[in-house]
Structure 1
Amino acid sequence: MAELASTRSLRILEDDPYGLVRFEGEQLPTLFELEGGRNVMYSSSFSKTIAPGLRVGYVILPEEIAAGLEDIVASTYITPALVTEATVLEFLRRGLLEPNLERVRGLLRERRDAMLEALERELGGPARWSRPQGGYFLWLELPEGTDATELLGRATPAGVTFVPGSDFGGEPNSARLAFSFASPAEIDEGVTRLAELIPAAATVKLP
């Protein structure tokens, strides 16, 4: 993709809010880095690396289109959130970003591991799932014949939620699970509850 952007002068907007919260494996280069920033515009957010309530992001783009984007931004919301932007600036000035990233990565790794362990215990065999090396989410393929949307309807009253994979173009039996917010104990309990509800939403019964 980076090569296409360079050879065909294609403009690409890379949205990368999770790149800095990779907690396992080698850090991967961004499209922006691979292409050199001539045709790739890079956007990210401090909501994932400092605090979710900040709602402060940034974009790196070629100078020739920066002014046009600035005009669009100004006409869209008049003025940015100055207090939260000043908070982020002071956070960066004090050198707190890297230590906080290490803290966030550690928390995410612990919660990812808790979800993987619970899935193996409760659904090992009839279901499959990804092993994310960063970010907030895990992709789950439920037992064949399971309707994830129907399962969500049963899970919500039980205090468990997820996003059906069909919302992202996935198969009807797929789901996106988030491990970013809940504690390891809550994740363990949530997966247990989810597993108990699967047979009612599946045409293929768990052994």
Structure 2
Amino acid sequence: MPLSGRPSVAPLTAWLREMVEAHDVRCLCIDGPLGWRSPNTDSPHCRLSERTVRAPGKTGLPPDGVKPRTYLGFTTFSIALFAAFLESADWALPGDPAAPSPARVLTECFPTAGWRALGLSPLMAKGRASVADVQDAGARLQVRTGISLEQVRTHDQLQAVVGGIAGAWWAAGRTDRVQLAGAPPIRLDGSWREGYIMIPAVTT
């Protein structure tokens, strides 16, 4: 996607960079598409990663191959956010064969797939989840992973934790506990295509 056609992601990018530096973040997980579909796969309507994790959104070919259509703004913004970070050699996508060894990794996540991979029922939609539902899901997650959730109280916070678990394990070198769902990222016609969605490795 050409730079001139991107949504304005500069304010969010700047804020995220500040947070990354302040907290020494080594793997930044974004719950949104990192690129478009490659025309050279056997997945005609979405990226292989989306098909693998059963994502509701389908990212097709640029510039507007998105299903459902209501996801178009969200999708183009997310792709632009990834592109803005990846203009710097300090960041790379997992599985990019052309990437140097960067200080930090930028990856796509999908909390619903994270819940499933951990053997837990996904947290219900925000509009339907009560405070008790969030508390119950958090308790199950804490028992399953041993992660302390004392400061996690809201639906958004809990989904962010689940979306970031695989990234935290990746940054800690525990790659055996991480699954890269999809196909390696490639550059094609000026945009990123395919790429992995990082989730916890399936546990038994």
TM-score over 0.5 for the pair: no
Q: Which fold has the larger relative contact order, with Cα–Cα distance below 8 Å and residues 6 or more apart in sequence? A: 2
More strand by share: 2
Name the TM-score, length of structure 2 as normaliser.
0.28
More helix by share: 1
Name the TM-score, length of structure 1 as normaliser.
0.28
Q: Which structure: larger Rg?
A: 1
